[in-house]
Structure 1
Amino acid sequence: MSMDLQRFHATFFEESREGLDAMEAGLLTLESGQHDAEIINSVFRAAHSIKGGAGTFGFDAIAALTHVLETLLDELRAGKRALEANAVDAMLASVDVLRALLREAEHGVQADPAAVAAMKARLESILSGQAPAAASAAAPVVAEAEPEAWQIGFTPAPSMFMSGNDPLRIIRELEHLGPLQVQARLERLPGFEQLDPFEAHLAWDLGLIGKIKRSQIEDTFAWVVDDCELDIRPVAPPSLATSAPAVEVELAPAAAAAPATAAPATAAATPAQEAESSIRVSVDKVDALINLVGELVITQAMLKQVSNHIDPAHAERLFAGLDLLERNTRDLQEAVIGVRMLPVDAVFRRFPRLVRDLSTRLGKQVRLKTIGEGTELDKGLIEKIADPLVHLVRNSIDHGLEMPEFRRNAGKDETGTITLAASHQGGHIVIEVSDDGHGLNRDRILAKAAERGLAVPENPTDAQVWDLIFQPGFSTADAVTDLSGRGVGMDVVRRNIQALGGEVQIESRAGMGTRTLIRLPLTLAILDGMTVSVAGETLILPLAYVLEALQPQASDIRTMAGEGRVLRVRGEYLPILSLSEYYGYGQRHSDESLVVVVEGDGQKIALEVDELVGQQQVVVKNIENNYRRIGGVSGATILGDGRVALIVDIGGLVRSLRVPQAA
């Protein structure tokens, strides 16, 4: 019976990526000085799992490299060699090469064959060059014994089939090494009623004749070493040529060891039981489920709107049912969106390696501090926020943190600190990238802006100066390197974050460091909004940005030269923006002034509207995918009566009022 293994490839690729992440994290922990045996074991298990899967699916290049890596790890965990810096460095480099090979197997992106060969040679040289004593000690034993035959006790764990391995395939491979005698042990075979076809019940006593290296036999069992009890012993050929009972006597120790397989099976049951508590589901299926819930939300809003025209006295039970439907719909929506939520640690865990490599390359001492790794964010946002964060961290290390001698002269710790923090604030998740370096140079930024002819307001605030670095191509770096200077590519960072419905702002103090704040919606699917009417049109203001709504007195509104109208709110003057004028709707339908105070990109503004309609949950529909990007609009939604309402981009409105951005 043939089996199509391709349908298991996606699971292998995903699990291998997770394994490589675990290996990298473990190796970085070992490099930091924590020489815990369990960490080495976890790295070994990850490498072994990847090798086993690669061998099963025929990805020979991955299997060959991982085999050498696994051998090195096996010697480390067995205490045969000390953990040295060059070995850790080589193993970290091998993780990168394995990622490239994984991309080649999954997407057909060619990995550099020279780099793969060089990596394998590097690991092999460490194996051969650092364990000469062990090799020389083992050599006399082999020379003395010079076995002409081997006895092998092979007892598979009951779960071996579930890992994709076949004991008969291993036995056939042994036949290629030399003449083989095979006898099955049936003591674990249950009665027919209790027989489970998915469990391995048989064990084998094997006699292999010929001058064969022990390493060749071990290589044959390499894929299943953690899924079986194995006893390999050199013997004289006559003991193998005798009758079957003689073999049973000869191999009694192996047979006695058979019950010990219960221990590995029990141990293996623990992770299996843990695995049963979660399942892997295609993102497309989850997205389809979210879309259906979105449609349910729209239908529920439609029913609620229709019910407003019904006399409550005649439809009391209907109204009770609609209230219950609204509560259940919200609970269902939160539960479904929760399926897509992942801890932000999925992004944060890639940075220890990045910080380690860059700091070594630049000769700087850097400490990475992470806070709030368990904070959850929509999977779609997590995948797209990674690149902007990488850019910010690279900039902080390259241009934010000083060299150790400069930090020492400034009275600072020679080791600089990069902080990655995540937290929930209102309806947003806030991600912070900060450093304790020298901070942004205000005068230098202004000089560069003047050199490029950028419009700068008189006596600009710090926030307005920092905003200049988001101009395309803006840089204050003295020399161009392959590491971006602070500001180079920052326009791309902002554009990518805005595309996610978020905003970014910078805070900096000379000599104290720089802090970049990224504010993102928890999910792009559904949001709570305030519905307002403007010139007969309905708009949605994301509730997370709304601070208050008020009807100001005429005396609180002033007109300032060059600034337009401003509103005084408790001693603070806020710019007023008429949504009717901004969107070109024409004449307002109300003479009374009504404003909604919102805050975006760290700045408050007052939005002038005609009427506050209410508050409701809306399903976000993307306009850009179906039409094009529209300034001041972050999306659209379908109201209960079937009309389309635009969702206001608060951050975009705030930026439109800034002189540098408008220029």
Structure 2
Amino acid sequence: MDISQFYQTFFEEADELLAEMELLLLGLDLQAPDSEHLNAIFRAAHSIKGGAATFGFLALTDTTHLLENLLDRARHGQLTLNTKMMDAFLETKDVLQKQMGAYRTGAEPEPEMVERICAVLRQLALEASADSAVTAAAVPAPVALPVTEQLAEPDAADAQGLTLKVHISKVMESDRKLLGEELRNLGRVVGESQTDDSLTLWLETTCDADDIIAVCCFIIDSDQIEISTEPAVVPEAGAATQSPPQPEKPLVAAASAAEPPRTTPAAAAAAPGNGKESGSIRVDVEKVDQIINLVGELVITQSMLTQTVAMLDPVLHERLLSGMGHLERNARDLQESVMSIRMMPMDYVFSRFPRLIRDLSGKLGKQVQLVTVGKETELDKGLIERIIDPITHLVRNSLDHGIEGPQQRALAGKDPTGRLTLSAQHQGGSIVIEVKDDGGGLNREKILAKAIERGMAISETISDDEVWQLIFAPGFSTADEVTDVSGRGVGMDVVKRNIHEMGGHVEIASTPGKGSSIKIVLPLTLAILNGMSVKVGKEIYILPLNYVIESLQPQAKAIHMINADEQVMHVRGEYLALVELHKFFEIPDAVCQPTEAIAVIVQAEGTRFALLVDQLVGQHQVVVKNLETNYRKVPGISAATILGDGNVALIIDVAAMKRVSREKASMPA
């Protein structure tokens, strides 16, 4: 059987193990490392090595083997961890990631990269051995094995040919054949027994239980495997149909009973417990998206039926109307349940930053403490992967421009260690992600000077909020010099554009000497939208509710003309630009007098303005359909939806509305 079909499972689980390893390494106290963390790091490396060996990924096997040796000695107190060693471990993790990237594409990793990191690990082992030898010479101790012998293969203790009984239950015939082939690669099969749904092998091997479990878990679940020692007398291979009757002695895997064999994350999640079948399964994202689209169509159909039966006599059709009510509730529950499948915790994003902050703060000569809040807050998978790059840029900016160096902070009466906070929380139908630092804050004068230098039109009465928005201008940078961290003026404009493309917006707050806060406000998902339907002429449009502040009917004294094409509306001491939707979309038979229409106050890109509509229809959830895929890009429109009567309604892109309106107004007649 071709085992390449299991490659993807191995790569996914190895990625999770490497991510776990990095977090644990970053959290280690070098002076007093936690033994459980060291054991977990060792088991992660051990599991990757076992899987890599199974699939013949030699470079990955060799590298993880060297790393595993060092980690094994560290967890048994045979070497002392230090910063240099930690840097090497983290670099090894990066190299392992690159090696897997090469194997994913069917290529071999670069030999120079592999040899370089292996040389680093071997040198660390030699230095650790020398340190151990010096310590042993200085302090009288019982006779012990030389350090070089202790560095031997972890399985060397079993090199005499320990016979293990490997019993695998509830396994299909095709998997039994594959498992038999893989176990033969780990040693010599001296006995074998099969039933309709089980396989038992007596394996003479130098591998330990962890290696066997790591290999098998890419095919079956860990709970299906039982490993024990067995007396030397076993049936001939292929001859026995029943297990020989004799007492068995449980095999203690790894270093101690306190360290259970490491199973891969997917296997652990799928392992039955307390009678339950499984905890989770891996499903292709495309299949989930297909289900979401079908549920969306179901919701649209249900909405159409509800609108149709609403015209029936409730007395004559009581049972039908009652059934439609149940259908509506069930459809809504189904929709919410399916959408929750795509939701992922923000920890998926936040867990990437301890390493970035450690490396970058060291390069900048700064001391920074990372605080994360709301890691469990969930966001749609499609958005959570797209938000990583914008947050990364904001974090780098905070470290470079925001948080000061230790001496500068001490002179300002601050703690020499800066504080960077990443937080996430739900607010209504949106998620708010905040990147906050306790640095020097944004410099208003410096930003204005740079804006004037670049020829940007600046009002004398410009507010702080408007000044902060200037940093999102393309090519804008206040850095005094260009470095590999920042200074090129590339990034913040991309951050803002990407956030807008996801249907969100960015808010900035800053206090001189106290720090800055940048908030990203996003919808929880792009598949379903909480919207307000408005009517303009005979057309229905959808306004995303997360942009809407309030609605009111303007009075004549509140409307002021600026020129022939622009009006403003005075609302509680503030003048708001008035955008008339009937003019924007050239809709006939619409209400033209502002005093006879409804003004919906919205906020986007840090500014508020008013949209003039004929009337408000109602609030409801809509299923979002991509307009560009089915038609083309339309200015001022972000997507479309299908209403209960079967008609298509366009969803307004509030953030783009103001920009496009200004462009139209500035065009010559």
Fold in common (TM above 0.5):
yes
Partner of 2:597: 593
Q: Distance in 2 between matches of 1:662 and 1:348?
A: 43
Partner of 1:478: 480
Q: 1:408 to 1:153 in 2, by over 3 A?
A: same
Matched, 1:644 2:648: yes
Q: 1:450 to 1:285 in 2, by over 3 A?
A: same
The 3-state SS of whatever aligns with 2:534 is strand
Amino acid at match of 2:68: E
Amino acid at match of 2:162: G
Q: Distance in 2 between matches of 1:485 and 1:150?
A: 59
Q: Distance in 1 between matches of 2:648 and 2:190?
A: 75
Partner of 2:450: 448
Q: Distance in 1 between matches of 2:318 and 2:147?
A: 94
Q: 1:538 to 1:84 in 2, by over 3 A?
A: same
- Shift, 1:559, TM fit: 4.0
Higher mean displacement: 623-632 or 455-464: 623-632
Q: 1:472 to 1:602 in 2, by over 3 A?
A: closer
> For 1:32-51, what aligned pairs fall within 5 Å after superposition?
35-51=33-49
Q: 1:406 to 1:648 in 2, by over 3 A?
A: same
| Count, aligned residues | 613
Q: Is the 8 A contact 1:153 1:230 kept in 2?
A: no
> For each residue in 1:347-398, what CA deviation from the matched residue of structure 2 results, as whole angstroms up to 9, or x when unmatched?
1000000000001111110111111000000001111100111111111111
Partner of 1:334: 336
- Shift, 1:590, TM fit: 6.1
Q: Is the 8 A contact 2:67 2:89 kept in 1?
A: yes
Q: Is the 8 A contact 1:157 1:264 kept in 2?
A: no
Q: 1:73 to 1:225 in 2, by over 3 A?
A: farther
Matched, 1:615 2:615: no
Partner of 2:375: 373
> For each residue in 1:636-661, what CA deviation from the matched residue of structure 2 results, as whole angstroms up to 9, or x when unmatched?
112223322111122333556789x9
Q: Is the 8 A contact 1:297 1:618 kept in 2?
A: no
> For 1:55-66, what aligned pairs fall within 5 Å after superposition?
55-66=53-64
- Shift, 1:163, TM fit: 12
Matched, 1:138 2:129: no
Q: Distance in 2 between matches of 1:130 and 1:29?
A: 22
> For 1:98-113, what aligned pairs fall within 5 Å after superposition?
98-108=96-106, 111-113=109-111
> For each residue in 1:525-571, what CA deviation from the matched residue of structure 2 results, as whole angstroms up to 9, or x when unmatched?
01121111113221001123323332233233344689953334455
Matched, 1:155 2:155: no
Q: As a proportion of its length, which structure holds more helix?
A: 1
Q: 1:221 to 1:295 in 2, by over 3 A?
A: closer
Q: Is the 8 A contact 2:47 2:210 kept in 1?
A: no
Partner of 2:578: 576
Q: Distance in 2 between matches of 1:305 and 1:488?
A: 50
> For 1:291-440, what aligned pairs fall within 5 Å after superposition?
291-440=293-442
Q: Is the 8 A contact 1:229 1:261 kept in 2?
A: no
For structure 2, the residue ranges without an aligned partner over 5 or more in a row are 137-143, 151-155, 215-224, 235-245
- Shift, 1:504, TM fit: 1.2
Q: 1:109 to 1:371 in 2, by over 3 A?
A: farther
Partner of 2:16: 18
Q: Distance in 1 between matches of 2:178 and 2:417?
A: 49
Partner of 1:522: 524
Partner of 2:635: 631
Q: 1:258 aligns with which of 245, 249, 254?
A: 249
The 3-state SS of whatever aligns with 1:396 is helix
Partner of 1:236: none
Q: Is the 8 A contact 1:398 1:485 kept in 2?
A: no
Q: Is the 8 A contact 1:434 1:515 kept in 2?
A: yes
Amino acid at match of 1:467: Q
Q: Is the 8 A contact 2:425 2:433 kept in 1?
A: yes
Q: 1:78 to 1:164 in 2, by over 3 A?
A: farther
Q: Distance in 2 between matches of 1:168 and 1:368?
A: 48
- Shift, 1:317, TM fit: 2.3
Matched, 1:77 2:75: yes
Q: 1:201 to 1:537 in 2, by over 3 A?
A: same
> For each residue in 1:441-463, what CA deviation from the matched residue of structure 2 results, as whole angstroms up to 9, or x when unmatched?
21121122122212223321111
- Shift, 1:624, TM fit: 3.2
Matched, 1:461 2:463: yes
For structure 1, the residue ranges without an aligned partner over 5 or more in a row are 176-181, 207-216, 233-239, 245-254
Q: Is the 8 A contact 1:152 1:231 kept in 2?
A: no
Q: Is the 8 A contact 2:361 2:368 kept in 1?
A: yes
- Shift, 1:586, TM fit: 4.9
Q: Distance in 2 between matches of 1:358 and 1:141?
A: 37
Q: Distance in 1 between matches of 2:34 and 2:622?
A: 51
- Shift, 1:174, TM fit: 5.8
- Shift, 1:106, TM fit: 1.2
The 3-state SS of whatever aligns with 1:402 is coil
Q: 1:35 to 1:167 in 2, by over 3 A?
A: farther
- Shift, 1:256, TM fit: 7.7
Q: Is the 8 A contact 1:540 1:647 kept in 2?
A: yes
> For 1:182-193, what aligned pairs fall within 5 Å after superposition?
none
Partner of 2:272: 273
- Shift, 1:166, TM fit: 5.6
Q: 1:653 to 1:45 in 2, by over 3 A?
A: same
Partner of 2:222: none
Partner of 1:223: 211
Q: Distance in 1 between matches of 2:303 and 2:186?
A: 66
Q: Distance in 2 between matches of 1:407 and 1:433?
A: 20
Higher mean displacement: 644-653 or 593-602: 593-602
Higher mean displacement: 287-296 or 624-633: 624-633
> For each residue in 1:110-134, what CA deviation from the matched residue of structure 2 results, as whole angstroms up to 9, or x when unmatched?
7443222111110111112211376
Q: Distance in 1 between matches of 2:176 and 2:441?
A: 53
Q: 1:196 to 1:378 in 2, by over 3 A?
A: same
Q: 1:454 to 1:222 in 2, by over 3 A?
A: same
Q: 1:157 to 1:45 in 2, by over 3 A?
A: farther
Q: Is the 8 A contact 1:228 1:261 kept in 2?
A: no
> For 1:532-611, what aligned pairs fall within 5 Å after superposition?
532-559=534-561, 564-586=566-588, 588-589=590-591, 591=593, 592-611=596-615
Higher mean displacement: 100-109 or 381-390: 100-109
The 3-state SS of whatever aligns with 1:30 is coil
Q: Distance in 2 between matches of 1:164 and 1:436?
A: 61
Report the identity percentage. Answer: 48
> For 1:167-186, what aligned pairs fall within 5 Å after superposition?
none
Q: Is the 8 A contact 2:559 2:570 kept in 1?
A: yes
- Shift, 1:138, TM fit: 2.5
Q: Is the 8 A contact 1:580 1:586 kept in 2?
A: yes
Amino acid at match of 1:350: R
Amino acid at match of 1:346: Y
Q: Distance in 2 between matches of 1:71 and 1:613?
A: 69
Partner of 2:219: none
Q: Is the 8 A contact 1:505 1:601 kept in 2?
A: yes
Q: Is the 8 A contact 2:468 2:508 kept in 1?
A: yes
